[in-house]
Amino acid sequence: MAHLISRYPDVFLLHPDSVELNPAFRDHEERSTRLDTVLRECRSQNLFLTLKGWREECYEVRGVFSAKPLLKMDRSATCLFGIKKYGVDINGYVNHPEKGLCVWLQRRSATKQTWPGKLDNMVGGGLSVGYGILETAIKEAAEEASIPSELIKKLKPAGAVSFFFESERGLFPNTEFVFDLELPLDFVPNNSDGEVESFELLPAKELQEKILTPEFKTTSCPVVVDFLIRHGLVTPENGLVLLIRGDQEGMPEIYPELQRNLQQAQGRFANTIERRERSSPFVMEPDYPQLIELLHVPLQTFYQWGSLCSLTNGGTQNGGSMSVIPTDVADTNLKNRQFHTGDIGSV
């Protein structure tokens, strides 16, 4: 990114703790156009891995979700700047008379720009320019799984899951708006846009093990864990036992802190499991609250340039209050990689 910034001093202004988009750009259209020109040039020169997945589909860039968009950029480029992204996920499930709760999964097409061939939630998609949350859910349900209108009416909002993910492509502060959809036993999803290879109906108990393998799309794991918690399959009694008994090497990178602690905790939990088998079936898992927190990272609160300056400089900016962020976090990824647009708000 330093190389990119230095090549375009008329577009980017470099500060000690942030990168600023030139405040001389007057409006949404000019900011979007100037940045798009830079990104297309970078794409033509193969400067960034993530731009190989160019979509000609843009995401809006906002300081906060409810604010007026500051600019738009191709969705493949947002991770270069750590832009907050939003999407929808639909958990399609059935109550099978013999297998119990079962969940529909899709296997992504081998030609997808990202996560090709991976198992994924039944339906998912980002909030592109011009689409709202429910609009996106309905559109993606029709395109990815051919869900008819009479079934989509049963769609139930189930809150949101937020997480921070980092890979070789960039930074992903993601918020996913989650929906549950109970489907009839005789319904089989059918893809219509070429982005899904196949669908599979999996008993929820098997799903617990599946998400711990490299076969599953990493950034969809939090949505699955949230579903399992809400439907009582991951509880304070069994939640972390599931993780300890899973394949630690294949555990999604989305839980790095929990993964680091597992080896130390394994002996302690082995004793807990042994005690459980000898006595009461109810033993509280001390890291269950941590698992819940990992599904609801407060991105809207602290993943802002103004909030970080409030913390590190001992004051407040943009009329906001100080965010409670550990100093080591503020001094590493978040502080050093923020991208903002001067006095019009942080992005």
The model's pLDDT over 88-104, given as tens digits with 9 standing for 90+, comes to: 999 999 999 999 999 99
CATH number, domain containing residue 329: 3.30.750.160
- 157 with 206, same domain: the answer is yes
Per the model's pLDDT, the better-predicted residue between 224 and 261 turns out to be 224
- 223 with 162, same domain: the answer is yes
Per the model's pLDDT, the better-predicted residue between 311 and 157 turns out to be 157
Q: What phi and psi, each to the nearest 5 degrees, are found at residue 137?
A: -60, -45
The model's pLDDT over 14-54, given as tens digits with 9 standing for 90+, comes to: 888 778 899 999 999 999 999 999 999 999 999 999 999 99
Band of residue 339 on the pLDDT scale cut at 50, 70, 90:
very low
- 220 with 314, same domain: the answer is no
Nearest C-alpha neighbor of 329 from the set 346, 315, 308: 308
Token digits for 17?
């703790």
State mean pLDDT over 244-258: 45
- 204 with 56, same domain: the answer is no
Region for 24 from its dihedrals, namely left if φ exceeds 0, alpha if ψ lies in -120 to 50, beta otherwise? alpha
pLDDT greater than 90 at residue 269: no
Residue type, 288: Y
Full domain range(s) for residue 222: 85-294
Exposed, middle or buried: residue 81 (CB in 10 Å: 0-12, 13-18, 19+)?
buried
Token digits for 256?
């790095």
- 145 with 231, same domain: the answer is yes
Task: Report residue 153 CA to chain centroid gap.
Answer: 25
Counting residues of the chain whose pLDDT is more than 70, the rounded percentage is 73
- 274 with 307, same domain: the answer is no
Band of residue 238 on the pLDDT scale cut at 50, 70, 90:
low
Exposed, middle or buried: residue 156 (CB in 10 Å: 0-12, 13-18, 19+)?
exposed
Q: What phi and psi, each to the nearest 5 degrees, are found at residue 274?
A: -65, -40
Do the Cβ atoms of 321 and 184 come closer than 8 Å? no
User: What confidence score (pLDDT) does residue 280 get?
Assistant: 37
- 72 with 105, same domain: the answer is no
- 65 with 99, same domain: the answer is no
User: What confidence score (pLDDT) does residue 276 get?
Assistant: 43
pLDDT greater than 80 at residue 210: yes
Band of residue 306 on the pLDDT scale cut at 50, 70, 90:
low
Q: What is the DSSP letter of 57?
A: -
Calculate ∠ Cα 3-58-79, nearest 5°.
40
- 109 with 177, same domain: the answer is yes
pLDDT greater than 60 at residue 344: no
The number of helices, as runs of H, and strands, as runs of E, in the chain is: 14, 12
User: What confidence score (pLDDT) does residue 332 get?
Assistant: 36
Q: Is the dihedral of CA 310, 313, 314, 318 positive or negative?
A: negative
SS3 200: strand
Number of domains in the chain: 2
State mean pLDDT over 74-90: 95
CATH number, domain containing residue 214: 3.90.79.10
- 193 with 317, same domain: the answer is no
Exposed, middle or buried: residue 76 (CB in 10 Å: 0-12, 13-18, 19+)?
buried
- 169 with 189, same domain: the answer is yes
Task: State the chain's mean pLDDT as an integer.
Answer: 79
Beta strands 119-121 and 123-126: pairing type? unpaired
- 80 with 90, same domain: the answer is no
